[in-house]
Amino acid sequence: MTALQAATTGRNDASPEAQAMLRGPERMASTGWRWSYVRWTAFAAYALGMAIFIHVQGIPTDRLGIYAAILIVLSIVVLGRGWAAWWQMMIDWLPFQLVLIAYDYSRGLASPYSDAQVQTATYPIHGVRNALGLPLHVEFPIHFDNWLGMHLGMGGMPTTWVQEHLHPTTAIPWYGALVSLVYVSHFLVMPIVAIVLWIRNRSRFVVWMRMVVVLAVAGVATYFVYPMAPPWLADDGDVFPGPVVGRYTSQGFDLIGMHMVGGIISQGQYLVNPVAAMPSLHTAYATLAAAFFWFGKRWWQKALLACYPIAMGFALVYGGEHYVVDEIAGAAYALAVISGWRILRARRIRREAAAAADVPEEPELIESSA
């Protein structure tokens, strides 16, 4: 199997590095207990602890909190396999996590709002410019989505149509919980995919994390050069046409007694950017997750994979978080990352094959008789 195939197919065979790393003593030297039993017991205790934490505090959505949870999971995976395996795990994960944490903090720098405005959730939209002197864009996505909605027979913007037809004003609908769960999956799917790939196929894990990092960097770069107000903020500024736009992405958690939590640190301006709307990274990462496992799958598997970005797109429009144009841009960013990776890998494989073909074969040794 080539490196390109390993990066784009669903094969789950572990790499030699992962196989070597996951080998270890079968039993504890001191007690004679099987390490597999110890690991499963630790996993059960961890799952119970996480369930209690989520019930009391809520679902963590910040990078530091999620990274701490990941480190605990992976430490349990390598439990009993020696310090070398633990250090290898840290070496594999730390560079990517540092880049993603830097992304979280740099995202706040792209915000045109002060820390005081963030803390009080006071976000004016008229005459606003960011640190680069670039204006906040408000009208363009409204015009685009209104044009799109007219051509789709909605009579106006998709956000307005969806909320008018599917969100009652008297009570939270039952599917509001599904919308909230799909929305919050953005914070969980990426690390879960990374954990599974790291355990089963380290080479694919590296590919996945590189794509995640490239997508994050592309997103925050766009936030700097093109700050744009999302629908709920445009509505607060009285420029959104039609009825009032609600922000419903977390409302469904009230039905099931859950909520989201920022994490272990205070989220100030350095983490919050309310105008990080173009592109929608929620849509981008959902598309990336589906496209990453797309190649080599059967039609029904592809249909299931496609359901995730479609569901995410619906949740974002229903919740008033993003315009459709944001979602189109987010999907385009993800597909560009996937396509770029496949092109670069294919070129590298062709170069390696050409270089191998240019190597002259060793002449056969001909025995000569005296």
Q: Is the peptide bond before 279 cis (omega within 30 degrees of 0)?
A: yes
Other beta carbons less than 10 A from residue 73's beta carbon: 17
Quote the CA–CA distance of 166 and 176 in Å, as a whole number. 10
CA distance 60 to 50: 10
Which DSSP state fits 244?
A: P
The answer to whether residue 181 is domain-embedded is yes
Indicate whether 44 belongs to any domain.
no
Reply yes or no on whether the pLDDT at 76 is more than 60: yes
Is 110 within a domain?
yes
Please indicate, yes or no, if residue 339 is contained in any of the structural domains: yes
Q: Is the pTM of this model over 0.85?
A: no
Q: Is residue 30 part of a domain?
A: no
The residue among 16 and 80 whose pLDDT is bigger is: 80
Range name among 41-50, 240-249, 278-287, 327-336 with the lowest pLDDT average: 240-249
What mean pLDDT is predicted for residues 342-347?
89
Q: Phi-psi bin for 177: left (phi > 0), alpha (psi -120 to 50), beta?
A: alpha
User: What pLDDT is stored for residue 367 in this prediction?
Assistant: 44
- Does residue 84 sit within a domain? yes
pLDDT surpassing 90 at residue 48: yes
Burial environment of residue 208 by CB neighbours within 10 A (0 to 12, 13 to 18, 19 or more): buried
131 domain-assigned = yes
Domain with 338, as residue range(s), is: 58-349
**For residues 70 and 279, which has the higher predicted lDDT (pLDDT)?**
279
In the chain, how many domains are there?
1
Strand partners, 60: 261
With respect to residue 311, please indicate whether it lies within any of the assigned structural domains.
yes
Phi, psi of 312 (to 5 degrees): -65, -45
pLDDT of 118 > 90? The answer is no
Indicate the average pLDDT of the chain.
Answer: 81
pLDDT band at 11 (very low <50, low <70, confident <90, very high): very low
Average pLDDT over residues 44-52: 90
Q: What distances in angstroms separate CA 173 from CA 36, 178, 314, one per listed residue? A: 44, 10, 15
Which neighbouring-strand residues pair with 35?
A: none
